[in-house]
Amino acid sequence: MEKKNNALASGTQIDEFIIDKVLGGGGFSIVYNAHHKVTNKAVVIKEYMPQKLAKRLDNNHVSSLSPKELDSFNKGQKLFYQEASSLALLKHKNIVNVITFFPENGTSYMVMDEVKGINLQSYIRKYNGNLSEKLLRIIFPNVLSALACIHEKKLLHLDIKPGNIHLRSGGIPLLLDFGAVRETEGTRLYDSRVVATAGFAPIEQITERGYMGPWTDIYALGATIRSCIEAKAPPTSSERKKKDTMKPAVDAFKKNYSPEFLQLLDWSMDIDPEARPQNCQLLIDKISQLPEIIKTTEKAKSGLLDSLSKKIFGR
């Protein structure tokens, strides 16, 4: 018999872990709070569960809805395993740590460290954007450092956006969700299977002649930082390619942010891939050379690191 909500019940044991409750999820996975049955260590478990392709039976086994969905289900599970194996290789302070991953119940599971904090997208909504330059100067280089680690492994993230960044105590970001990650050797050219989030994916990621590289993730990070300021995704890269009506950051936000910082933001979001920084270290170096912030306007105070509440960052 099929489970109606497709989620595992509280108290279910998966390998050495006990499910506590559903934390969230999307169209292809369910995320749970859980703990180790012996050590009681709190963890987060991500389960491959494509809602449109599969169902859960009473014995918790996950099965494709019908034989015609089986091929798509298996391909998706292969990509899920690719995400888990990629993450397991990436040990970095700004990348979510994968403890283990394994197959069970006809599907696959990824076990990660539980980290207190808040999703960046939720934080943007809470303050309607306007995050301070002080906070953005913490988020920007830390995510760039994580991306540099990814790129050194000959991988591309390809889905940088606010929803995939977690803010921990002190505003230190943690990069999440590697479901779109691809090896550069095999996917430099356009691939229709690659995830492309509107407003954050650059032109080379959505056009057949596109040639992807570190500059692709850099554009998405620039779009993420811009959305931290104006509380919305930038125009799509296809719209910008056709007619770029997006006002440069150095003009749009000059009342609240330093021109030097905004110039780096515009550089990261250049519509031309070759005109952007070609690697993360270039931007990291430039950010480290930015002059000290002298003042913060009233409009930008909502995102000040000093004002981050105990409720948000658990301190």
Each residue's pLDDT tens digit, 9-38: 999 999 999 999 998 777 788 999 999 999
Place of tokens 């996950």: 62
Q: Are 55 and 63 in contact (CB under 8 A)?
A: yes
Q: Are 4 and 16 in contact (CB under 8 A)?
A: no
- Report the C-alpha gap between 19 and 100 in whole angstroms: 15
pLDDT, position 307: 44
Q: Which of 23-32, 48-57, 143-152, 179-188 has the highest mean pLDDT?
A: 143-152
Residue 2 has pLDDT above 80, yes or no: no
Place of tokens 């390998």: 15
Which run of H or E residues covers position 85?
A: helix 67-89
Predicted model pTM = 0.84
- Report the C-alpha gap between 114 and 96 in whole angstroms: 9
Which run of H or E residues covers position 103?
A: strand 98-104
pLDDT in tens, 178-226: 767 777 654 555 555 566 899 999 999 998 878 899 999 999 999 999 9
Q: Are 102 and 58 in contact (CB under 8 A)?
A: no
Kindly report the average pLDDT of the chain as a whole number.
87
- Report the C-alpha gap between 178 and 150 in whole angstroms: 10
pLDDT, position 106: 94
What the chain holds in terms of domains, given with CATH numbers, is: 13-113 (3.30.200.20), 118-307 (1.10.510.10)
- DSSP 8-state code for residue 31: E
- Report the C-alpha gap between 210 and 67 in whole angstroms: 35
pLDDT, position 79: 84
Higher confidence at residue 59 or residue 191? 59
Place of tokens 């691939």: 191
Residue 256 has pLDDT above 50, yes or no: yes
pLDDT, position 281: 96
- Supply φ then ψ for residue 23, to 5 degrees: -95, -35
pLDDT in tens, 218-237: 999 999 999 999 999 999 99
